[in-house]
Structure 1
Amino acid sequence: MALPWILTVLSLLPLFEAQNPANVSITAMPITNATLNWLAGKWFYIGSAFRNPEYKQAAEQIQAAFFYFYPNLTEDTILLREYQTMEDRCVYNSSQLRVQRKNGTLSKLEGDKEHFAHLKLLEDPRSFMLAFQPEDEKNLGLSFYADSPDVSQEQIGEFQKAVISVGMKKSEIMYTDWKKDLCGPLQRQPELREMKAEEEKP
């Protein structure tokens, strides 16, 4: 089962003091309104390292991906609109994420199962990570996101150090290839006015 929100979201994190990625703590911090406002906008899925077979298989299918976050501060939800290039075609999805402010996590309900992501901020405020099942060595995973597909070596280095810090290897990282993106020419950024109108409907 593909979990695109995890890989292109799947993005998501609280605004808290940036930590040394060589000594990353996966413990989530509380999410505030400032966090949600910071998350609003466009993000790109850069890469991930997964040991969970289900998540790893989903990541292997994604050639390139980007998404838009539209937080609802009163309902503690985020409208997610994502564009993924998979098997040489563009796939569009729209869904809703739940915000657990106290736990510092975001989640998505798929069927009868709810998937949770722990949010982490890197030193560079233009990028972030999310961690999955950090307490389970056999199934843990990290994903990396940035506000541009053209990430620097410093940004990539931060993510690689974070992967190593949780006991994984750089060889386990899978990166996307923006040159293979087929969604950019097709997508139109949703208007904020339309999103707000939808959120205000009874």
Structure 2
Amino acid sequence: MALPWALAALSLLPLLSARGPLCDHPRAAPITDAILQQLSGKWFLIGVVLRNPVLKEMNRELKALFFYLIPNLTKDNLQFRDYVTIGPTCIYSENPGRIQRQKGTLSRSVVSEEHFANLWLTKDPETFILLFSPEDDKNLGLAFYARKQEVTKEQRREFHEVLTCVGLQDEEILYMDGKKDLCRPLEKQQEEERKKENTES
């Protein structure tokens, strides 16, 4: 199942230079080992904006999403373990990805096609943003991730500032609902199985 940040062919270009006064946030910058270590681990999708009408329709039933991001610092690749609640179903998948350090982008392979997203670091290391197709207003997209399902007022405020910065509107946001997440039991089961395997090996 393609995640919101991997549903379209995403641009490798940096953010557009024409900005409003709120655009003092970091642009796409080289990705370091320290950044990858910061991104390693579990993340929750808090909110997503997808202007592409086909992608918006595909995500209409998306209720909750969290994933584990596992970087390999020496090979510049990633492993994603995704838990997605769509309608009444939990869907689990594992997907490979790559790191484009100098371009400041991450990519992942979905259905034999590689998709790219600009990494946009926020002021708070407990959140980050992925920006899609910044040069294409009709397909512009943005996804906001956090370490916890519930975010603080400050974290949410920065998310809204970035939305304004790139020309998106608050009313375009599709928010996730952690109360509708159906994947926690599967996550717990898999964690127990991994612990058992590590103990036996």
Given the superposition, is the C-alpha separation of residues 44 and 100 from structure 1 closer, same or farther in structure 2, using an over 3 Å criterion?
A: same
1:44: which partner in 2? 44
Report the CA distance shift for 1:134/1:127 in structure 2 as closer, same or farther (over 3 A).
Answer: same
1:112-123 aligned within 5 A: 113-123=113-123
* Distance verdict in 2 for CA 1:105–1:183, change over 3 Å: same
Which consecutive segments of 4 or more residues in structure 1 shift more than 2 A?
Answer: 24-27, 53-61, 109-114, 188-192
- Percentage identity across aligned positions? 45
Aligned length, in residue pairs? 181
- Partner residue in 2 for 1:186: 186
The structure with the larger Rg is 2
Aligned 8 A contact 2:38 2:125 in 1? no
Contact 1:132 1:140 in 2 (8 A): yes
> TM-score, normalization: structure 1?
0.81
AA aligned to 1:60 is R
Q: Match of 2:129?
A: 129
* CA apart distance, 1:144: 0.1
Unaligned runs of 5+ in 1: 8-20, 196-202
Per-residue deviation at 1:78?
A: 0.8
Which structure 2 residue ranges, 5 or more long, are not aligned? Answer: 7-20
- TM-score of the two chains, using structure 2 as the length reference: 0.81
Q: Are residues 59 and 27 of structure 1, via their aligned partners in 2, closer, same or farther at CA, if it must alter by over 3 Å?
A: farther
**Aligned partners of 2:25 and 2:122 also within 8 Å:** no
- Summarize deviations over 1:125-165 as a string: whole Å, max 9, x none: 11010000001111111100000001112211211121111
Cα RMSD (Å): 2.4
Q: Distance in 2 between matches of 1:5 and 1:37?
A: 23
Residue 79 of structure 1 aligns with which residue? Answer: 79
* 1:88 CA drift (Å): 1.3
